Homo-oligomer: A and B are copies of this chain.
Amino acid sequence: MRPQILLFGDSITQQSFRSGGWGAAVADIYSRKVDVVLRGYGGYNTRWALFLLHHIFPLVSATPPVAVTIFFGANDAALLGGTGKKQHVPVNEYKENLRRIVQHIKNLSRNTLVVLITPPPIDQQGRREFARSQYGDKASESPDRTNEVTGAYAEECVNLARELGLLQSIYGPKCKKLKVGRKILKSFLDSYPCRSIFLHSDGLHLTPEGNAVVSQEVVKIFDEAGFSDLPYDFPQHSEIDGENPEKAFLQQCAAV
**Interface, chain A (partner B; CB < 8 A):** 1, 14-15, 17-21, 24-25, 27-28, 31-32, 35, 37-38, 40-44, 47-48, 50-56, 75, 85-87, 208, 234, 236-238, 240, 242, 245-246, 249, 253, 255-256
Question: 7 A-B Cβ contacts within 8 A?
Answer: A17-B27, A17-B31, A19-B24, A21-B28, A24-B28, A51-B245, A51-B255
**How many monomers of this protein are in the complex?**
2
In the assembled complex, which residues on chain B have CB atoms less than 8 Å from the CB atom of A24?
17-19, 21, 24, 27-28
| Complex Cα gap A122–B43 (Å) | 44
In the complex, how many angstroms separate the beta carbon of A135 from the nearest chain B beta carbon?
16
A28 CA / B255 CA spacing, docked (Å): 34
In the bound complex, do residue A43 and residue B236 qualify as a contact, i.e. CB atoms below 8 Å apart?
yes
Q: How far is the CA of A52 from the CA of B2 in the complex (A)?
A: 14
- Expressed in whole angstroms, the Cα–Cα distance for A190 and B32 within the complex equals 35
- With the chains together, A79 CA to B87 CA distance in Å? 59
- The residue that A25 contacts in the complex, of B19, B31, B37, with Cβ under 8 A, is B19
